[in-house]
Amino acid sequence: MDAPSKIPEGVAPGAKSRYDDFVAVHINQTKTIHFTGNFLTWHRYYIHAFETALRDECRFTGTLPYWNWAKSAQDPLGSPYMDGSAYSQGGNGVWEPHVCTRPGNINAPCISPVVEGRGGGCVASGPYVKYKANLSSVDVWFNYPNIKSGPLMSYAPRCMRRDILPEYTQARATEQHLLNYFTNSTLGNLEAWQAELQGGTGLHSVGHFSFGGDPGGDIYTSPNDPLFWLHHGMVDRAWWMWQNQKPPAERHFQIAATRTMRNNPPSDNATLDDIIDLSWVTPQKGGVRSAIKNHVSTVAGPYCYVYM
């Protein structure tokens, strides 16, 4: 992924590598792919595109792994995901004094139970110690020293910061929390299920909050932390599990929410015919303009996989 960026010159000045292309696409579309009707399908296609690029451009022969939140909930820092060993996704950041804040407002109080984490500084162990995030921050959730935003997609090379928070995963990401997504009768339709997943204490949010930092703690630039891909692999797996509790006709073709983040600005309801466009990272065999309905199943369209 160190190959040169394929984005046209001047469009995303901070994109220097092929990996940066994936981050830039996420930044560019953030307000139309989160808390929207295409959230799940867009990210399914996105992680598929990343896996495809690893295979076609990097000679990767495996499959994209997922991070089972429940398996590491009690001790994320001691888990194979984040213990800082050579084959982990990197350890915590070094300790730096910092302040937990409410997303979008650095003067607001902390989100309970999200408190100041155990790190905050540059990742100190594992394969990403020398890794640099190139694209500038946009909206970092927590107030870390010397982190400044923008200009959008500008070049701002910096270390990867992490702020792993075991108290949050212990409180919100256990086996029981995961089980609730498949046994709670109030989550039997996609509107309710997706709202729970993306809520402030939902497992999608918990995953991101639990390792925080910069760029991971920024809804725009979060793919700049490689743990993003494992996290969204699990998001996709959870959706797949929920879908397959019922016949395909019952749950595969449900869609909920509008086309803009939290319907701001107001927009029409999303439909199965709405287009997903991954722009600079679209898989060659996927087609640039691909409707949502082509991404509701993992064994149809461009996909051929199931989860264990």
Got the DSSP string for 218-266?
A: BTTTGGGSTHHHHHHHHHHHHHHHHHTTS-HHHHTT---SBSSGGGSS-
Cα–Cα distance, 308 to 144 (Å, whole number):
38
Query: pLDDT tens track of the chain, all 308 residues?
Result: 689 999 999 999 999 999 999 999 999 999 999 999 999 999 999 999 999 999 999 999 999 999 999 999 999 999 999 999 999 999 999 988 776 654 444 455 565 445 667 888 999 999 999 999 999 999 887 767 677 788 999 999 999 999 898 888 998 999 999 999 999 999 999 999 999 999 988 999 999 988 888 999 899 999 999 999 999 999 999 999 999 999 999 999 999 999 999 999 999 999 999 999 999 999 865 556 799 999 999 999 999 999 99
Phi, psi of 136 (to 5 degrees): -65, 150
pTM: 0.94
Domain regions of the chain by residue span: 18-295
**CATH architecture of the domain with range 18-295:** Orthogonal Bundle (1.10)
**Sequence-separated (6 or more) residues with CB below 8 Å from residue 117:** 100, 163, 164, 165, 212
